[in-house]
Amino acid sequence: QMFRSIRLNAFTGRVAMAHQQFKAISDKDPLGGTQLLLLEEGRKVVEEIFTKAYASGASAVVSSLDTSSSMLESHKFFNDRSRINDITYYETGQGMRRQEGPTAGGFCIPRTLVSTGEKHNFSDLLTQFSTELLVSARDSAGSLPDGQECRAGISILYHENGPYDPIRESQLRTAVRGGCDFFVFEGCSTSAHLEEVDHLLQENAARQVPLVKINTVGKPYEDGTCVAGFDVPAFVLIPCQDEPDKVAHLLDTARQLPRFKGAIMVDTHGDAEVDVF
C-alpha cells in the first residue's frame, strides 16, 4: 500500500534526457548504461550525469535507463558470468539476499538457473537505484532561479515482444516509493500500447481500501480504511523522427487518455520538448 499524488499543472522549462550521455559512456554495451548500476563506482557516475543535467538549467531530468527484466533477459544478463555486481549474493536454500559487504558471499546474479521471481526482484533493485540516484540529484539541485521546483522522471520501457509483461506493476511501485515525480513511457508505438499503459495506471490509482489487521488469535479483521495506490503523472516519449501522421495519432490518443498528462518529443540530437496536456 502506498499513496503518492503529484500535480504538474505548472510544469514548464527544459526537460533533460540522459540517453546520449549513457550511450557515449557505455562503449557499445548492450545494456545501454544500465550496467553502471551494478557497481558502486558506476552508480556514482550515474548520479554525476543526473547532477550535471540539473546544473545545466533543466527543470526536470529523465532517468533514461531501461531497468526492466525483459531488457535484461533479452541480453542474457542473468547468466552472463562476465559481469559482476555488488548488489546481491546467493545463500543456499534462501534465494536472493542483499549484499552486505565485499566478502559477503557469491553473487546471486549472474548465475545459472535464476528464477523468474529473482529476475524481477533484481530488476526492481536496479529501478530502485536509478530512482534514488535521480531523486538525490534532484534534491541537491533544489529549485530553479524562478522558484520552480526541479522534477525527477523515471523511464519505463514498454517491451511489446519481451519474455515478460510489457510493463510490470512492481517496477512502477518501486519508482513511486523512491520518490519520482512522473513516469516517462518509452517504446509505446501504437494507440493500443498507450491504452494498455493507461489501464494499468488506472488500476493502480490512489483509492480507499480496507485496512486489514491480524488479531491475537491470528485471524484478519478490518480496522477502518487507508489509501492505496498512486497518482503520478505519465508522459509518453515520442521520437520526432517518426512519421508525422504516426506522431500526430499518438499525441491525439494520449490526450484522450486520463492518466497521460503530456508528451515529450525528442529529436535525433536528444533534445526534448514537452507538451503538457
Q: Does residue 82 fall inside a structural domain?
A: no
Number of domains in the chain: 1
Q: How far apart are CA 235 and CA 232, in angstroms?
A: 10
pLDDT at res. 6: 44
Q: H/E element holding 252?
A: helix 244-256
Average pLDDT, the chain: 84
Classify strands 220-228 and 234-239 as parallel, antiparallel or unpaired.
unpaired
The confidence band for 83, taking pLDDT boundaries of 50, 70 and 90, is confident
For residue 229, give its domain range. 15-75+114-267
For residues 257-267, give the mean pLDDT. Answer: 89
Secondary structure class of 41 (helix, strand, coil): helix
Which cell numbers in the block locate residue 181?
515525480
Q: Does residue 276 fall inside a structural domain?
A: no
pLDDT at res. 207: 84
Q: H/E element holding 195?
A: helix 191-203
Q: Does residue 40 fall inside a structural domain?
A: yes
Which cell numbers in the block locate residue 232?
503520478
Q: Does residue 3 fall inside a structural domain?
A: no
Instruction: Kindly report the number of other CB atoms within 10 A of residue 144's CB atom.
Output: 16
Classify strands 151-157 and 220-228 as parallel, antiparallel or unpaired.
unpaired
pLDDT at res. 5: 42
Q: Does residue 95 fall inside a structural domain?
A: no
Q: Does residue 100 fall inside a structural domain?
A: no
Within 13 Å of residue 67, how many CA atoms lie on the same side as its CB?
Answer: 26
Q: Does residue 86 fall inside a structural domain?
A: no
Residue 41 has pLDDT above 90, yes or no: yes
Q: Does residue 97 fall inside a structural domain?
A: no
Distances (CA, A) of 177 to 3, 110, 124, 230, 251: 9, 26, 11, 10, 29
pLDDT at res. 88: 72
CATH of the domain at 28: 3.20.20.330
State in Å, rounded, how far the first CA of the chain is from the last one: 29
Top mean pLDDT of 90-104, 118-132, 219-233 is at: 118-132
